[in-house]
Amino acid sequence: MHNQNRILRVLQLIAILQKEPAKSIRYLSSCLYTTERTTYRYLDLIKELGLDLCKNEHNKYFIINVANGIGFTQQEAILLTELLKSSAKHHKLKDSILKKIYVNYEIAISANQILKAHLGKLIETLSKAIHSNKQVILKKYHSANTQTIKDRLVEPINFTDNFTSLAAYEIESGENKYFNIERITDVKITNKNVEFKKQHAYNAPDAFGFGSTTKDYNVELRLNLRAYVILKEEYPLAIPYLKPERKSNHTYLLNITVNDFKPITRFVIGLIDDVEVLGSLEFKTHLKSITEKLLNNKIKTITMKPSLKKGKHK
C-alpha cells in the first residue's frame, strides 16, 4: 500500500508540474500532504525518470510539457517505440530513448487520468449528498482566500458550469460559498439532514469562480499568445469573453465583468510582461495600489537589517 501511495503521489506531482505556473516546494508539499523533504525525494525520482524538470529564478519547479515543444502524438509515440524495438534493438541509446517515450507519453497521461478519476469520485459523492439532502464534510479543503487547509462542514446546493466548483452553505460562517472541486481532498457524507435550507442561495459565479456580490467590476485586458493560452487553460469560463484583436494575429482582447478583483489581479501580476491593462479606471487604480504595496514590502525586506546590541568592553 505504501508503494502504491508513493506511485500515486509521483504521478500527481508530474501532472501538477506540467501545468503553469511554476510551483514552490511549500505549495507542492501541501498538495501532496507530505513534508518538503519527501517532496524533494519525489522530484529526484522524476528527474531519474528522464522528465525535463526545471527550476526558475524564484526556486519554483516546473516540467516542460512535450506538447508545447516538438512532441509526438500518442500514435506516433507507439510507432516510434515499435521501430526502436525492431530496428534498433542492439543500439546503445535504445533503452534511454524508450524510457523517455514511456514517461512522456504514458505516465503523464496516466497521472491526468488518476486525477480526473479522483475528481469524478468527489463529484459523484457530492451529487448523492445533494439528492439525499445530507450535510457533508469537505476534507482538508485548500482555501486560496484564507490560506488555510481544514475540514469544512457544508450543505451542498449545486455545481457550477463544467463542475469546476460546488455551491454550498457553510455552517460555521453562515454564508453561501463556492468551493473549488480540485481543492477538496475528500468528501464525507454525514448522517445529518440539511438544516438551513431557507438560507441556501445560488447565484452563478463569474468566470473566475467568485459568486455575485452587491457590486461587479469591468476589466479590459490585451493578452499576448502566452497569456491567452494560460487564461483559457486556467479559467475556461472566460473563453466567451475573449476575441482576437483585429490589427494583430498574436494579441487578444478580454472584456469581462467580475465579482471580485482578486483572481484577475493575481493573473495579471503573474503575467505582467504578457498582459496590458486597458481598463477600467477602477481596476487600474486597484492594480496600482497592489503593486505599490508589493514594492514597499520588497523595499522593507531589502533594507531591514538585524540590530546589533553594543556590549561593554572590559
Domain ranges across the chain: 2-68, 118-199, 217-300
Q: Which amino acid is at 6?
A: R
Q: Which grid cell is 134? A: 445530507
Q: What's the gap between Cα 301 and its chain centre?
A: 28
Pick the CATH number of 2-68 from 1.20.1260.10, 1.10.760.10, 2.40.50.1020, 1.10.10.10: 1.10.10.10
pLDDT of residue 20: 74
Model pLDDT, residue 313: 47
- Looking at domain 118-199, does it have CATH number 3.20.20? no
Helix (H, G, I), strand (E, B) or coil at 220: strand
What span, in angstroms and rounded, lies between the C-alpha atoms of 179 and 5? 26
- H or E, element range at 3: helix 2-17
pLDDT for the residue numbered 1: 43
Yes or no: domain 217-300 corresponds to CATH 3.30.70: yes
Question: What's the pLDDT score for residue 191?
Answer: 96
Q: What is the pTM of this model?
A: 0.51
Decide: helix, strand or coil at residue 71.
Answer: coil
Closest CA to 107 of 35, 18, 174: 18
What are the start-end ranges of the E strands in 102-146? 134-143
Q: Are 180 and 61 in contact (CB under 8 A)?
A: no
Tens place of pLDDT for every residue, the chain, 314 residues? 455 567 777 877 887 887 778 889 988 888 887 888 989 988 988 887 767 788 888 888 988 754 444 455 555 555 666 666 566 555 556 565 665 555 555 544 455 555 666 788 888 899 999 999 999 999 999 887 777 889 999 999 998 866 778 999 999 999 998 898 888 989 999 999 999 999 998 877 888 877 766 688 999 999 999 999 899 888 888 888 999 987 766 899 999 999 889 889 999 998 999 999 998 999 999 999 988 887 777 666 666 555 544 454 44
* pLDDT at residue number 19: 78
DSSP conformational letter for 133: T
Helix axes 36-48, 25-32, angle to 10 degrees: 100
By three-state DSSP, how is residue 225 classified? helix
What residues form DSSP beta bridges with 159? 166
